[in-house]
Amino acid sequence: MFSGKELPSSSSLLAAYASMAGSIMMAQSIANQLSHLIPHQIRGYFLSTLRYFFKPQSPVLTLVIEESTGIAQNQIYDASETYLCTKVSPRTKRLKISKTPKERNFTIKLEKGEIIVDHYEGIELKWRLVFAEADKNDSHNHLQPKNVEKRWFELSFHRNHKETVLGSYLPYILGKAKYIKEEDRVLKMHTLGNSQGYGGIKWESINLEHPASFETLAVEPDLKDLLIHDLNRFVKRKDFYKRVGRAWKRGYLLYGPPGTGKSSLVAAMANHLKFDVYDLQLANIMRDSDLRRLFLATGNRSILVIEDIDCSLDLPDRRQVSRDEDSRKTHDVQLTLSGLLNFIDGLWSSCGDERIIIFTTNHKDRLDPALLRPGRMDMHIHMSYCTAHGFRVLATNYLGINGYHSLFGEIEDLIKTTEITPAQVAEQLLKSEDSNIALEGLVKLLKRKKLEGDELFDEGGKMGGIQEAKRQKVERKRRVSVRINGGRKTNKRRCS
């Protein structure tokens, strides 16, 4: 396109200009001297022709950035459009504004003919949006409908800055636009569909509107900082992963009792990174081929979540009759954890960038050692019962209390000695908008739970361990809930 060689340097330009000016003056004096010989009209024509040929070159260089390259959308045009929305000045007269149901924010675009002046490293850059009716005879445009307007940006600046604009300003705009788009991106939550369409089970997506963020998460500040740091480092390390020849992926194992925020943490991670979430319910997957297809259909910059990994892998019976080319065979398609892990490892390396995989479980102790093997999951994160700090976060979230409340001392003392999940605390705080009523309710709940815990402790003494007493109590509860459900099988089996 443009190369440094095409343009003279400023000093040579000056020299050329000086010699041109000299030539014009000389021509003028010749013309004056010959004035008595040359008729008046011819003299004027002679001078204007001379001026045309020796006119100094304009110092302004204009880049034309067309909307389409004829085959594909022009990336620089799209990025400029996004970038310039942030550069609207008080002098801008007209803007176009729109919002589709799926968009979160307004989209602002420049109107025809509007001019925006931007400054970059001390350079003044003038942008103008130009519209014209598309050339109907344009052979490049045969794919476009007739009477479509052609659009382009004209970017004008002093030609001395050509190198900076091409080498640094335009890449800066591409980067900025990418960042703006990421910020605005509506995240998607992909789950497995109910319908078995052609080709088998498929992902279906909805907007991920989970409000969880690291700010609203009731976890210890150290853990929160560690996680945010880990995620930020991961997304920045593309080159590092490439250099050491590793697939750019990261695995987290979240474990802890129900209601401690494992799913909320997944949503907070997705919101923080602006990654889509793919929720893979293994219970719905019978065949290896399905797993492979679904896995390959996940997008870049995404989090693949496999919840309750301890439950989903020992599903009752995955034996299935499948149709081979011409004979019917019975395949044992039982998925094992290590089989799944090898499968994922193998595929993962070959399918794109910036992948995060998260396993969640209520029972780390029941997991296959293959999953716990060093190097398999990058971080093991324990989500545990509510702490005093966790309670303060929830009190801020739900009741808007940022400072002190007279019941805080009692609640925090009780929380330290009681097993209560953040979900239970949250539920209690939701019961009333009056913080006194909500917190008194929480005190009662904590006292009741503490009492139950103490009884369990006594029972444990008789039975030879608090864990055994707990297990038996949960077993009793589970039998009740199975009876209530009438033995109906659900996808998410109770595993406690």
Ligand X SMILES: Nc1ncnc2c1ncn2[C@@H]1O[C@H](COP(=O)(O)OP(=O)(O)OP(=O)(O)O)[C@@H](O)[C@H]1O
- Which residues of the shown chain bind Mg ion in the complex (CB under 5 A)? 262-263
For the CB of residue 381, give the shortest distance to ligand X in the complex, in Å: 11
For the CB of residue 384, give the shortest distance to ligand X in the complex, in Å: 9
Q: Which does 251 bind (CB under 5 to 8 A by kind): ligand X, Mg ion, none?
A: none
Please give the Cα distance from 185 to 407 (Å, whole number): 42
Token digits for 282?
């293994």
For the CB of residue 424, give the shortest distance to ligand X in the complex, in Å: 8
153 or 359: CB nearest Mg ion: 359
Contact between 80 and ligand X (CB under 6 A)? no
Q: Which does 423 bind (CB under 5 to 8 A by kind): Mg ion, ligand X, none?
A: ligand X
Contact between 219 and ligand X (CB under 6 A)? yes
Residue pair 189/279 in contact (Cβ under 8 Å)? The answer is yes
263 or 271: CB nearest ligand X: 263
260 or 271: CB nearest ligand X: 260
Residue 456 CB neighbour total at 10 angstroms: 18
55 or 382: CB nearest ligand X: 382
CA 471, 476, 481 angle in degrees (round to 5)? Answer: 120
For the CB of residue 225, give the shortest distance to ligand X in the complex, in Å: 15
For the CB of residue 122, give the shortest distance to ligand X in the complex, in Å: 48
Please give the Cα distance from 364 to 487 (Å, whole number): 26
For the CB of residue 445, give the shortest distance to Mg ion in the complex, in Å: 22
CA dihedral over 430, 431, 434, 437, signed as positive or negative: negative
127 or 359: CB nearest ligand X: 359
Q: Which does 258 bind (CB under 5 to 8 A by kind): ligand X, Mg ion, none?
A: ligand X
DSSP 8-state code for residue 68: B
Chain residues 247-306 in contact with ligand X, contact rule CB under 6 A: 258-264
Q: In 55-109, which residue ranges form alpha helices assigned H by DSSP?
A: 75-84
For the CB of residue 3, give the shortest distance to ligand X in the complex, in Å: 58
Cβ contacts of residue 398 below 8 Å, gap of 6+? 426, 429, 430, 438
CA 73, 74, 77 angle in degrees (round to 5)? Answer: 120
Please give the Cα distance from 224 to 262 (Å, whole number): 13
Q: Which does 298 bind (CB under 5 to 8 A by kind): ligand X, Mg ion, none?
A: none
Contact between 423 and ligand X (CB under 6 A)? yes
For the CB of residue 273, give the shortest distance to Mg ion in the complex, in Å: 19
Number of residues this chain uses to bind ligand X (CB under 6 A):
15
Q: Are strands 200-207 and 249-255 parallel, antiparallel or unpaired?
A: unpaired
For the CB of residue 263, give the shortest distance to Mg ion in the complex, in Å: 3
71 or 484: CB nearest ligand X: 484
Please give the Cα distance from 411 to 442 (Å, whole number): 8
For the CB of residue 309, give the shortest distance to Mg ion in the complex, in Å: 12
Contact between 428 and ligand X (CB under 6 A)? no
Closest CA to 348 of 295, 411, 291: 295
Exactly one of 65, 165, 217, 309 binds ligand X (CB under 6 A); that residue is 217
Chain residues 371-390 in contact with ligand X, contact rule CB under 6 A: 383
Q: In 280-368, which residue ranges form alpha helices assigned H by DSSP?
A: 288-296, 309-312, 337-348
Q: Which residue is at the shortest CB distance from ligand X?
A: 261
Please give the Cα distance from 372 to 412 (Å, whole number): 34
| Residue for token pair 């971080």 | 379
263 or 418: CB nearest Mg ion: 263
Piece of the chain touching ligand X by CB under 6 A; list 105-113, 216-224, 292-300, 348-356: 216-224
Please give the Cα distance from 332 to 329 (Å, whole number): 10
151 or 262: CB nearest ligand X: 262
76 or 383: CB nearest ligand X: 383
Which amino acid makes up residue 265? Answer: L
Please give the Cα distance from 161 to 70 (Å, whole number): 28
268 or 456: CB nearest ligand X: 268
Q: Which residue is at the shortest CB distance from Mg ion?
A: 263
Q: In 34-164, which residue ranges form alpha helices assigned H by DSSP?
A: 40-54, 75-84, 162-164
Q: For the packed helices 337-348 and 288-296, what is the interaxial angle rounded to 10 degrees? A: 40
Burial class, 137, CB count within 10 angstroms (exposed 0-12 / middle 13-18 / buried 19+): exposed
For the CB of residue 119, give the shortest distance to ligand X in the complex, in Å: 44
210 or 237: CB nearest Mg ion: 210
Please give the Cα distance from 261 to 226 (Å, whole number): 17
429 or 456: CB nearest ligand X: 429
Residue pair 344/309 in contact (Cβ under 8 Å)? The answer is no
Chain residues 330-369 in contact with ligand X, contact rule CB under 6 A: 362
CA 259, 264, 270 angle in degrees (round to 5)? Answer: 160
Contact between 422 and ligand X (CB under 6 A)? yes
Piece of the chain touching ligand X by CB under 6 A; list 71-79, 181-189, 212-220, 272-280: 212-220
Longest dimension (CA), the chain: 131
Piece of the chain touching ligand X by CB under 6 A; list 232-240, 311-319, 421-429, 446-454: 421-429
Exactly one of 192, 356, 426, 438 binds ligand X (CB under 6 A); that residue is 426
Contact footprint for ligand X (CB under 6 A):
217-219, 258-264, 362, 383, 422-423, 426
